[in-house]
Amino acid sequence: MTTLWTTLRDVLMLRTQAFLTFRDDPDGLRRGVTWLMVITLIAGALTFVVDLTQSLQPLETRLADVERGVEEAFAQMERFLPPGQMPPGFREQFRSNFRAGLRIGAEVEALPTLLPKPLGALFEAMGSWLSRPFARLGGWLGYALWVMLAARLLGGTGGLRGFLATTSLYAIPQLLAFFNPVPCLGALLNLVAAVWGWAIYVKATAVAHGWVSFVETSEGATIEYTDWGRAIVAVLLPLLVAGMLVLLVVVALILVAVLS
């Protein structure tokens, strides 16, 4: 247990030795994937409880909460929009259509089901919770392959197994997502987890591809040097390319619409 906490601390503090341990361990990839999935389950545990509790509430209460949320959204819009900016009668028309949709949803909800409502709600919430690790795993693997390609183009020398083993550690700060249902605090901690996770991913990329070196000074001290530039470019390049492709598609669609 002491080794586990030490590893977690060293990864969160971006200490190179922790990443080297995962990169060079033949069992590092399995350990990393296990950590990623377990952390995702822990992070979503409170959300699972909240979702289950809300789904077990009476239908009228849930519909009232949805309608209250819409009214609050309109109040926020009116606060920031200039006076008279919202079309006359738009709010009343939207409210009427929205309530009609809620009535349809209530009728669908009232239809008989094979399982009792509480049991069905339990299975639905549990299914959503248990599927999260696989969704994270798929997204991590897909993105890692593109980062791996970018790193190789930039001169990286790391292997795929070591790269996946180290980058899987980015999930550790996602433990903060446990507080996601808490108003305000959840959003703030999610932001912290995202930034921290990206920092770990960049460090893992540098370690996996040999962009961390150790230089011994004349006094006998060892100085660590990390090529953060190449690591950051490798991590961001797939996102930049994807963004450019989306932009080109949007521009092409606009040109087709204008010229047709």
* pLDDT tens digits, one per residue of 67-117: 676 667 666 666 666 666 666 666 677 667 666 776 676 666 666 666 676
Assigned token pair, 163: 């790269």
Domain match, 135 and 240 both? yes
Co-location of 13 and 140 in the same domain: yes
235 falls within a domain: yes
For residue 259, is it within any domain? Answer: no
Number of structural domains found in the chain:
2
Domain-located, residue 88: yes
Assess whether 114 and 144 both reside in one domain.
no
Q: Which long-range contacts (CB under 8 A, 24 or more apart) does 44-48 make?
A: 44/129, 44/132, 44/177, 44/178, 45/129, 45/178, 46/178, 46/179, 46/180, 46/181, 47/129, 47/180, 47/181, 48/125, 48/126, 48/128, 48/129
Domain-terminating residue out of 118, 140, 162: 118
What is the predicted pLDDT for the residue at 59? 62
Within a domain: residue 200? yes
Are residue 126 and residue 113 in the same domain, yes or no? no
36 assigned to some structural domain:
yes
pLDDT of residue 257: 82
Same domain, 12 and 81: no
> Which two three-digit tokens encode residue 134?
């696989």
Which of 118, 144, 172 terminates a domain? The answer is 118
Residue 67 lies in a domain: yes
If one compares 238 and 83, the residue with the highest pLDDT of the two is: 238
Domain ranges, residue 29 = 2-43+120-215+222-249
Looking only at Cα atoms, what is the longest distance across the chain?
80
Tokens 């709600």 sit at which residue?
121
Is 136:40 a contact under the CB 8 Å cutoff?
yes
* DSSP assignment of 153-185: HTT----HHHHHHHHGGGGGGGGGGGGTTSTTH
Structure-token match 């190449």, residue found: 230
* Pair 31, 75 in one domain: no
Question: Distances in Å between the alpha carbon of 145 and those of 124, 141, 222?
Answer: 32, 6, 33
Comparing CA positions, the residue from 241, 253, 258, 203 lying closest to residue 225 is: 203
How far from 28 is each of 23, 75, 81, 119, 152, CA to CA, in Å? 6, 52, 53, 39, 21
In a domain, 258, yes or no: no
38 and 63 co-located in one domain: no
Whether residues 129 and 238 share a domain: the answer is yes
On whether both 233 and 244 belong to a single domain, the answer is yes
Query: Which of 118, 134, 158 corresponds to the end of one domain?
Result: 118
Give pLDDT tens digits for 148-195.
Answer: 999 999 999 989 999 999 999 999 999 999 999 888 898 999 999 999
C-alpha distances out from residue 122 to 56, 134, 135, Å: 9, 19, 20
Q: 202 and 153: one domain?
A: yes
pLDDT at residue 216 tops 80: no
39 and 128 in a single domain? The answer is yes
- Same domain assignment for residues 128 and 110: no
Residue 131 within any structural domain of the chain: yes
Residue 121 has pLDDT above 70, yes or no: yes
pTM of the complete model = 0.80
Across the range 13-41, mean pLDDT stands at 93
